Amino acid sequence: MSTHDLYTSPVEPSHRTVPMTGDTRFTWEYDDGRDRLLALYQKGKDRQWDAVTRIDWDLEVDPHDVLGVADQSLAIYGTRHWDRMGERDRGELRRHAASWQFSQFVHGEQGAMITAARIVESVPDLDAKFYSATQTMDEARHVEIFTRFLQEKIGMVYPINTNLEDLLHETLGDSRWDMPYLGMQVLIEGLALAAFGVMRDMTTKPLPKQVLTYVMQDEARHVAFGRLALRDHYRELSAAELKDREEFVIQGCHLMRDRIRGREIWTNFGIPLAEVDELVNKSPYMRMFQALLFSRIVPCVKDIGLWSPRIQATFEEMGVLDASRSDLDALMRHDEELADKLDAERFAAEEAERKAEVDAVIEAEAVR
């Protein structure tokens, strides 16, 4: 079935053109580059995997309870809008909410794939070109995974959120080579990584847990890549140049904050747009979710050197400044370790199942 048949509203045209400026850079310096970046490139090569075989796509998913989380996670829970719904409508709302979230993931991952390819073209250093080439493949795999999950398990797709689209356009349309890093690796990928983590830790369903855990293993490397490249570059910029990047971060964070409101979901259920933001702002779960979503962005912004009083005031106003104390390296290690642990648990269970089958055959033959 065509993806267009699954969209909640028509998406036209089928292709979107984003005008891009800036230079494509070749380098004739083929000597070894930065050790940490080359080590990350090696890990990117070592960690390539096949979504067809690593994920157990035979696992069933209830489209009306995709994640198996409490209904309190829905912004309208406990309101008059929720109370007037029957169980069938509530099931459809759960489906729409999951579809919206995973749809934004797939759109964002396509943006990441295009941006990674853009970085290969524009970044001046060969070590960064090497790593970004591996990330382009990672992001292609993520688009494949989320597309399949939406089509086969949920059966519904939402168009790209306008705030996410705006930030992608700003990121790709800037002529400076570092801006795709800042917009994608720090802001979009940072927020997505945190969203994946919240959902991974909350879901009680095995297939979405596999999908999110394995994708996060890749994304942890991607955010580390952005940190390494930008931290070196931003040490060399003037105060005026840093201020310009900080302004981009502030605008981008506001777009990301507004994106997670999911206005499209609620208006599809007849809730006036004027009420949506108030409902989201009053939801305890959504306030917690927003704070957690910036847990990767805030310490990363601080780490790369964009930490003026204005940036800090912005994060304070958004209620996420405390995230600056997070240990980003520890979070990334945890993301990678969880994927390895999940593999070990799955393979151990499969081995035990095979052994039980063999033992049963042996026992049956002995009885004969």
Distance between CA atoms of residues 88 and 134, nearest Å: 44
Torsion-angle region of residue 355: left (phi > 0), alpha (psi -120 to 50) or beta? Answer: alpha
Question: Can you tell me the mean pLDDT for 295-320?
Answer: 93
Distance between CA atoms of residues 280 and 287, nearest Å: 8
Q: Is the pLDDT of residue 189 over 90?
A: no
In this structure, is residue 17 part of a structural domain? no
Distance between CA atoms of residues 70 and 366, nearest Å: 50
The confidence score (pLDDT) of residue 364 equals 65
Q: How far is CA 160 from CA 186, 254, 255, in A?
A: 20, 17, 13
In this structure, is residue 126 part of a structural domain? yes
The confidence score (pLDDT) of residue 221 equals 87
Residue 221 · residue 46 · CB < 8 Å: no
Q: Is the pLDDT of residue 362 over 70?
A: no
In this structure, is residue 18 part of a structural domain? no
Residue 158 · residue 236 · CB < 8 Å: no
Mean per-residue pLDDT over the chain, rounded:
89
In this structure, is residue 338 part of a structural domain? yes
Residue 215 · residue 135 · CB < 8 Å: no
Q: Is the pLDDT of residue 354 over 80?
A: no
The confidence score (pLDDT) of residue 285 equals 83
Give every CB contact of residue 68 below 8 A, 6+ residues apart in sequence: 203, 204, 205
In this structure, is residue 361 part of a structural domain? yes
In this structure, is residue 28 part of a structural domain? no
The confidence score (pLDDT) of residue 170 equals 87
Show the domain range for 163. Answer: 3-10+34-367
- For 308-340, what is each residue's pLDDT tens digit? 999 999 999 988 999 999 888 898 889 999 999
In this structure, is residue 206 part of a structural domain? yes
In this structure, is residue 27 part of a structural domain? no
Give every CB contact of residue 366 below 8 A, 6+ residues apart in sequence: none
Domain count, the chain: 1
Q: Is the pLDDT of residue 361 over 70?
A: no
Q: Is the pLDDT of residue 52 over 90?
A: yes
Residue 70 belongs to a domain with what CATH number?
1.10.620.20
**What are the phi and psi torsion angles at 115 (to 5°)?**
-65, -40
Entry pTM: 0.89
DSSP-derived letter for residue 237 is S
- For 120-169, what is each residue's pLDDT tens digit? 999 888 888 999 999 999 999 999 999 999 999 999 999 999 888 888 88
